[in-house]
Structure 1
Amino acid sequence: MENVLGVMGGMGPQATTLFYEMLIDNTQAECDQDHINTLILGHATMPDRTAAILSGEEEEIHKRLLEDLKFLESYGCKAIAIPCNTSHYFIDKLSHEINVPIINMVKESAESAAREARERMIASLAQADMFETGFAHEQIGILATDGTIRMGLYQKALDKCGVDWYVPDEETQKLVMYQIYDRIKKGLPADMQAWRQIEMAMKAAGCTKVILACTELSVINQVEGLSDYYLDAMEVLVNRCIEVMGKSKAVKTATADQRWEMFNEFLQGGGDW
């Protein structure tokens, strides 16, 4: 098998399922052979990345991630995607330990958010007199696990792009972790009442755009059809994978109810969405 995309998955399993479905859905294809050759490693027993980072027990995670990367490398993968934001804490070191490029979801998402922010600023200047109203202030919100937030993965990436950022206050962050660990990772639908509280808090803090910087939050986005107020890091990763693998992007749409029904059918082994 040639021109293979390696996927280091299982972190978590639903997010990996979603990644592959999005990869299929968003690749322009007229037949099976037009799709991307993909080798998915579903390491579901990988210890929790957030817990390891916060407890300082990082070495075991690094060791297992490296073993998985070398496995994918041994099969001749052209590039590797990791549909788990928190795991990108290890990516700088890991990328120097293998000879296959790792597509950096955090870097790509930060750069995408920065481009959009600049475009909005230019648009606002074209519509108003900056000497009267000033420049439109852009602030990017970050919704992620405690580990991703604590390690500053997106904060550092956005700093490099010259964009202001905001992370949730303690109470809002608890709601984010509740959605990730007590809802999606347990196979439950998102608590949309709690989600509205999160969104209100981010808007009240002045966020002009919010990055969904956790793949479990990407599940919420794909199922519920969240507004374009959000930038989905998973979508960014999928689009970059399609580009790296030399394919073209296709655009498909579905209602929130259709997405939820099709996603549940897929998890139960009945068809695709």
Structure 2
Amino acid sequence: MILGVIGGLGPMATAYFLELIIKMTDANCDSEHLEMIIHNCPSIPDRTNFILEKSKENPITPMIRIGNQLEKQGVSAIAIPCITAHCFHKELANFINVPIIHIVKETASLLKENGVKIVGIAATDGAIATKLFQNELASVGIDTIIPKKKTQGYVTDLIYGNVKAGKPVDMNKFSVVSKELRQNGSEVIVLGCTELSLIKRDYTIGSGYVDAMEVLAKASILSCQGLLKSQYNDLITK
């Protein structure tokens, strides 16, 4: 089975997603790893700007085009290592005849299985505004906490001003966001943007986090009948 990837949103997150797939697969040789077709298209318009009507450039059209190309190339499933893009999951699924792994549904299932009741969300303004995580988690009986306006600004700075810009991460801002979400009752904090996944990769962030891109990598491996290393059965940091 072949995994298709609609990538480039952003490029470094896509590169890390490929790394996660390889690292998390239980393989003893090259041929036991997943076959993947990755279309890295960083020119896809910014999803949050479109959602918040700061731009009229529609990111859905190029994603459908790429999805259709991957479909013709024979992929069995499609992963999109961009969480905000899942705000358009229904529209994409209407035009792409290959299952698109839903990163937010998979994350909600993982948290439900672990008995988590209250979750803090660190995500883009677009994902927060559309209640992407809030609605999905509510559907499985999990309450959500989002940052206050000023603190959400810190999340945006981390995503756009630090990681996407290729600049050092302001871990003080990350700590402020985490502290606020914890103080307001969050048992687990979801890193709900693939740029935030890179912070987990490069820094020690502590316990009680789940990286949604790790969830996507796990679901991708299993959906393409790959084998998962046992240490990735539980993705909540200890």
Interval of TM-score (by shorter of Structure 1 and Structure 2) = over 0.9
- The structural deviation recorded for 1:227 is 2.3
- The structural deviation recorded for 1:151 is 0.5
Q: Does 1:243 align with 2:222?
A: yes
The one-letter code sitting in structure 1 at the alignment partner of 2:192 is A
Q: Which residue of 1 aligns with 2:50?
A: 52
CA distance in 1, matches of 2:21, 2:167: 23
- The structural deviation recorded for 1:47 is 0.9
Tell me the C-alpha RMSD between the 2 structures: 1.6
The one-letter code sitting in structure 2 at the alignment partner of 1:67 is R
Q: Which residue of 1 aligns with 2:40?
A: 42
CA contact (8 A) 2:10 2:42 kept: yes
Aligned with 2:177: secondary structure?
A: helix
Q: Does 1:29 align with 2:15?
A: no
Task: Decide which of 175, 178, 181 is 1:199's aligned counterpart.
Answer: 178
CA contact (8 A) 1:25 1:252 kept: no
Q: Which residue of 2 aligns with 1:92?
A: 90
The one-letter code sitting in structure 2 at the alignment partner of 1:106 is V
Percentage identity across paired residues of the two chains: 38
- The structural deviation recorded for 1:223 is 1.4
Q: How many residues align?
A: 232
Q: Does 1:67 align with 2:60?
A: no
Q: Does 1:211 align with 2:190?
A: yes
Query: Could you say which structure has the larger radius of gyration?
Result: 1
Q: Which residue of 1 aligns with 2:157?
A: 178
Higher normalized helix content (fraction of residues): 1
CA distance in 1, matches of 2:64, 2:228: 30
1:9-51 alpha-carbon deviations (Å, 9 max, x no partner): 0000010011000000110111111100000000111111100
Q: Structure 1 residues 225, 58: CA separation in 2 closer, same or farther (over 3 Å shift)?
A: farther
CA distance in 2, matches of 1:218, 1:15: 8
- If the length of structure 2 is used for normalisation, what is the TM-score? 0.93
- The structural deviation recorded for 1:252 is 7.2
Q: Does 1:109 align with 2:107?
A: yes
- The structural deviation recorded for 1:57 is 5.3
- Mean Cα deviation higher: 8-17 or 225-234: 225-234
Q: Which residue of 1 aligns with 2:75?
A: 77
CA distance in 2, matches of 1:59, 1:159: 31
- If the length of structure 1 is used for normalisation, what is the TM-score? 0.81
CA distance in 1, matches of 2:147, 2:66: 33
Aligned with 2:58: secondary structure?
A: helix
CA distance in 1, matches of 2:58, 2:180: 36
Aligned with 1:248: secondary structure?
A: coil
Structure 1 ranges of 4+ moved more than 4 A: 56-59
The answer for unaligned runs of 5 or more in structure 2 is: 233-238
- The structural deviation recorded for 1:98 is 1.8
CA contact (8 A) 1:141 1:202 kept: yes
CA distance in 2, matches of 1:178, 1:165: 22
Q: Does 1:187 align with 2:166?
A: yes
The one-letter code sitting in structure 2 at the alignment partner of 1:87 is A
CA distance in 2, matches of 1:17, 1:189: 18
Q: Which residue of 2 aligns with 1:160?
A: 139
CA distance in 1, matches of 2:97, 2:207: 36
The answer for unaligned runs of 5 or more in structure 1 is: 119-137, 254-273
Q: Structure 1 residues 56, 62: CA separation in 2 closer, same or farther (over 3 Å shift)?
A: farther
CA distance in 1, matches of 2:162, 2:172: 13
Q: Which residue of 2 aligns with 1:15?
A: 13
The one-letter code sitting in structure 2 at the alignment partner of 1:71 is Q
Q: Structure 1 residues 160, 252: CA separation in 2 closer, same or farther (over 3 Å shift)?
A: closer
